[in-house]
Structure 1
Amino acid sequence: MKPLALLRPLTISSAPSNPLFQPQSLPQKHAFRVLCSSFDSKPIQDGYTAAKPDNNKPGILDDLFLNLFRNKMVQVRILISLFPPFLLELYRILIAPIGGGKIAATMVARVTALSWQWLMGKCTINSVDLPDGTSCRSGVFVERCKYLEESKCIGICINTCKLPTQAFFKDYMGVPLLMEPNFTDYSCQFRFGVLPPLPEDDISLKEPCLEICRNATRRRKVAGDMDVPHCPKA
């Protein structure tokens, strides 16, 4: 029986008892793969970092505004997502043509004044002159726009608020809208039922930078306190 005892360690069931033949666990393999991938990608990352210029590095908020909200269609899609499906289409087909568009413009003005004060600040309904020579209470006056005051940039106001909002109401609700921001006292006048002018005729797109704009302050220092003709981001 002794020869059988000598052959017993060579059986398959006794192989795991030897630490040299124990397989590695899955977490060890995963950690090893992660470690190897990190070593392989480090030279690429270092080279990419070295190729970047050290000056004018954008911050987190700059990337957020420029990459996500600067595209006008992105902002329009955000506005569309706030409404239930088919509601905008039904409003444009059924409500917008009634009364020459005055009823739809009045309804939109009241909803805007009630539901968007958290973003713009205090709003009031007022009368505006329509292209046909009549007046209608389809205007919304923002006393001091918090969005403009906090952003401190005409370009952000134009590209992420004025132009997308005008396009949204005209294209998806059938209500023309002209927004007239005042960059002196930060007020804004909404004129529902009034078509906006062409971009080359819109004076809002030709306004100079705000005095509180940090980038404009840097440009004035570099240019020797010369006035910037208009906001480069508008």
Structure 2
Amino acid sequence: MVKARTNAETVETTVRILRSLFPPLLLELYKMLVTPIGNGKLAAIMVARVTALTCQWLMGRCTTNSVDFPDGSSWASGVFVERCKYLEESKCAGICINTCKLPTQAFFKDYMGVPLLMEPNFSDYSCQFKFGLLPSEASEDEILRQPCLEICPNANRRRELKGNYDETPCPKV
């Protein structure tokens, strides 16, 4: 986030990094051959399992769980991160949103054909991944209006200057 001029550039850079972790043909084949099966159900379940198994080094302990869909169905396409190390170490809602939530949602939708809704919980540092669900529109996503976390070093400096906790959205979002 330090090198990018805008949040959009940060998101684009992170998506580019995520893409670089996969052989290009693999992403295209997955999107063409696996994603269409069962209207995306198989792809969402597979991605959830692989995410829970391979991303614990970055996020912390993860378990798969069920996701409820608007049509009343439920798939085992969720990943619950008990306490995200990435969020806890960054101490910043803006870093979570711009280098994890938004680019990860974009990557899975655009390059694997799997919609993803990520719901970070800024009070207990957990995060719920819901593969198969589209993310909210930016104008409707409450997470994008998150104030700075109480542990944020920038919020602490502002609090010392103002003498209170600032409820305005995180300036890095």
Tell me the TM-score range normalised by the shorter chain.
over 0.9
- Gaps in structure 2 of 5+ consecutive residues: none
Instruction: Name structure 1 gaps, 5 residues minimum.
Output: 1-64
2:149 maps to: 210
Superposition pairs of residues 145-184 of structure 1, within 5 angstroms = 145-184=84-123
Aligned residue for 1:163, secondary structure, equals: helix
Q: CA deviation at 1:131?
A: 3.2
The offset of 1:197, in angstroms, is 0.5
Query: 1:221–1:171: structure 2 CA closer, same or farther, 3 Å change rule?
Result: same
Say if 2:5 is the partner of 1:66: no
Q: Which residue matches 1:219?
A: 158
2:39 is matched with which residue: 100, 104, 120? 100
Query: Per the alignment, in what secondary structure is the counterpart of residue 125 of structure 1?
Result: strand
Opposite residue 126 of structure 2, the aligned amino acid is: S
Q: Which has the higher contact order (CA 8 A, sep 6+)?
A: 2
Superposition misfits of 4+ residues, deviation over 3 angstroms = none
Deviation at 1:226, TM superposition (A): 4.7
| Residue in structure 2 matched with residue 81 of structure 1 by the alignment | 20
Identity rate, percent: 69
Deviation of the 1:97 alpha carbon? 0.9
Larger Rg: 1
CA RMSD of aligned residues (A): 1.3
In the alignment, the residues of structure 2 paired with residue 211 and residue 226 of structure 1 have an alpha-carbon distance, to the nearest angstrom, of 8
- 1:196 is displaced (CA, Å) by 0.3
Answer yes or no: is the 8 Å Cα contact 1:139–1:192 preserved in 2: yes
Corresponding position of 1:127:
66
Is the 1:131–1:194 contact (alpha carbons within 8 Å) kept by the matching residues of 2? Answer: no
